[in-house]
Chains A and B, each alone.
Chain A
Amino acid sequence: MERSKDAAKTVLEALVPNILAGVSNEVAAEILKGEIVAEVFEVAWSCRFEDDRRNAQRRIRQLIADAIKTRQIEALP
């Protein structure tokens, strides 16, 4: 893996606990504890040169929507 990509990913993952402290919504906090940060980072990294932001936004929206769907189903009795 590219050296700077590793570094950027490590920085983000290390910051997750700080961010979680400010999230009061339990489902949102659960989602953020999972792989979502790494997945969003992958999209951001692969789209870093693209001018078409819509493509990046569409992929991130889909990731979040899938994560919410999974968590809410798991949360059902």
Chain B
Amino acid sequence: MIIRRLVLENFGPYFGKHELDLSVTPDHEVVLIYGENMRGKTSIVNAIRWCLYGSTLDRYERPIPQQRFINYDAINVGDYHMAVEITFDHQDSHYELERRIQSSVKPTSDRDLKSSVNLKKDGYLVPGGDITDVVYDILHPDIARFFLFDGEMLAQYEILLGQPTIASQKVRESIEQILGLPALTKGKEDVETLKKDAQRRQTKALDVSKQHAALTAKSQQLEAALEGVKGDLDGLRNVYSKLQEERDQLSDKLQGFGDAEAEIRELDTLEAEIGKLTTEAEEAHAECKKLIAEAWWIPATPRIAARLLELNEAIENQFSLRLRREQLSADITRLAKSVPNRVCEFCGQPLAEAVAQHLEERQKALAAQLTALPPLATDVDTLIAERRSLQAFAREDLSVRLAEAERRSVKATVDQHKRESKADAIRTRLRGHDRAEIKATQLQLENAVRQMLKVESDIATKARDEADLNQQMARLQQEIGRLPGADKRIAVEADVYSALERLLELGIDEYRDRLRLEVEAEATGIFRELTTEPRYEKLEINEQYGLRIVDDLGRTIVDKSAGAEQIVALALIGALNRCATKEGPIVMDTPFGRLDRGHREKILRFLPTLHTQVILLVQSGELEPTEAAAYLDGGLAREYRISRDESPTRSRFDPVRKVQ
């Protein structure tokens, strides 16, 4: 599908008739529409969606009343009509789709509106009853989120990385929808229904012989058991849908509280953190007190260390002096034996006179050195005793522990104060709100979601029971089919259905696994093209199609930036479009919100390869016009700017550039 032209009449901020030529060529695939905030970018996406499906959704995927889209100025001048026309090409045919609503009185709700829709295919009108089928066949609303999407909502794909929840299940279902998995799941359900029908007919056609009767009775028992399980399943599904309703009502109610709801959640988190920090601070403080009681001397540690150094030096000096004295005394004593007798003390030989004189002089010199040495201190033992007693206080570990405990105490106290200030600010803003009611609603919602998960698990268990009973029934029917008298034709029919059911069942698992690998490979290729971080090696897919970044050392990146999240989401959308069952124009609203210049450049260079038509709705804060032209590298087909007339509810399109 390629959109050629979009005409808006009194739609959103567009008063009167406004036309956008969105034609692209194979070499110029991108249409760029600039518009500052509140000028009507999102209205373009809404107009396309409304024209295709007759309804449009808000960011919580709830329908928006149509009457809200009629231009205020038009209503003020008594013009109560609104229309959108899309001209597009699809598979060699040309289509013109026009949707219109009008009212004879000033509309206050959708009940006041009369709507009409016309579709022409290759110049011929399509019958009214077939329009929805034709449009759905071209681009079904269940997969539209991957073609018409809001860049601000890309973060929703992050939920696919957490534990399965109702919200992640919805996204996963949409992904499987675009990849065509329902063709197999619904096909299996259809074949299963047909198989049961054939089995019932087969049972009825049996002769009432003894054997037949026994098998028939068994078959009836199994059928009754199956009905029972089916009844249970229906009951559980009813409970589930009631819980869904309850969840939706509670969600709506919470949304009605506006920012207060999110603030209460934040306040709860802050209060929990404050409690934890208070305990941490108290524990650290208690540890400090205990350490100070054990080690009251810690403040004197530097002086103790200095005194210990002095003592060590003094004791060392005394030991050296004593050793020197002993050595000199020993040498003098040895010479005193040799010199007076003029005989060598070692061999007993007489000494030559010159040698004897030399030894005598040596003896005198040593005696002089001994006399020159300072006297030994009398209190060395006292010094050693003092050192021993001070060493008991030189335990650095206690002072380190004390410093660490003090640091923790201070940090916890500071963090606690910061959070308390934040909490106080929130409490001030929450004045006038019934916090108890909001909290009660939050709890009810959490409870409803918990119950839904429980019921979901019960449904899965019952579904397994049903599958077991079905298998038993199939075996029994084969047995019945082999009995004489049974209708061979019905037996063949039942066998074919059973085999087809099994085939589709195996096919679903196999296809799902294959899709996952395919999406992972495509997303990795796109991601590597888009990321500016060379360490990021690949994306890894999980059971829910959530994608994690893996770096070149094989580590999963857990704390990724908001920009990286957006790149991963874009890679997922790109991969889904490449693997998709359908091709449609990609219309992206505010896609660069959280991205830096490097990523913007890479995305712009990549976009023309994504699809044959890409319509970008951007504001100047996220993309400079010069950047766009440079990086799109010739891929730009057209460029518009949304300007505002004299009234804030009157926007218009100004063509800026037409490249093709």
Interface of A toward B, CB cutoff 8 Å: 2-5, 7-8, 11-12, 15-16, 18-20, 22-25, 27-28, 31-32, 36-37, 40-41, 43-45, 47-49, 53, 56-57, 60-61, 64-65, 67-68, 71-72
Contacts and interface: CB of A to CB of B under 8 A. Distances in A.
B584 to A, nearest CB: 12
Nearest to A12: B507
Nearest to B489: A68
A5 B496 contact: no
Given A3-B578, A25-B495, A64-B493, 6 more contacts: A3-B580, A4-B179, A25-B491, A47-B186, A61-B194, A68-B496
Contacts of A8: 180-181, 183-184, 507, 511
Given A25-B495, A44-B183, A48-B186, A7 B511 contact: yes
A2 B140 CA distance: 15
Contacts of A12: 184, 503-504, 507, 511
A37 B500 contact: yes
A16 B580 CA distance: 25
Contact of A57 (B181, B193, B488, B507): B193
B136 interface: yes
Contacts of A25: 478, 481, 491-492, 495
A25 to B, nearest CB: 4
A22 B502 contact: yes
Contacts of B134: none
Nearest to B500: A40
B514 A7 contact: yes
Contacts of B495: 23-25, 28
B189 A53 contact: yes
Among A2, A7, A43, A48, which residue has the most Cβ atoms of chain B within 10 A? A48
A11 B478 contact: no
Main secondary structure of the interface of A (DSSP, over half): helix
B518 interface: yes
Contact of B193 (A3, A53, A65): A53
A10 to B, nearest CB: 9
Given A15-B507, A23-B499, A49-B142, A28 B492 contact: yes
B190 A56 contact: yes
Contact of A32 (B183, B499, B515, B583): B499
A48 B194 contact: no
Contacts of A72: 489, 492
Contacts, number: 130
Contacts of A28: 492, 495-496, 499
Contacts of B179: 4
A37 B503 contact: yes
A2 B190 contact: no
Contact of B518 (A5, A7, A20): A7
B190 A60 contact: yes
Contacts of A27: 488, 492
23 contacts: A4-B179, A7-B518, A8-B180, A19-B503, A23-B495, A23-B499, A25-B478, A31-B492, A32-B499, A41-B183, A41-B187, A43-B187, A44-B183, A44-B186, A45-B183, A48-B180, A48-B581, A49-B140, A49-B142, A64-B496, A67-B496, A68-B496, A72-B489
Contacts of A22: 499, 502
A11 B499 contact: no
Nearest to A30: B492
B514 A11 contact: yes
A60 B195 CA distance: 11
B640 interface: no
Nearest to A32: B499
B594 interface: no
B493 A68 contact: yes
Given A3-B579, A57-B193, A72-B489, A19 B502 contact: yes
B581 A2 contact: yes
Contacts of B140: 49
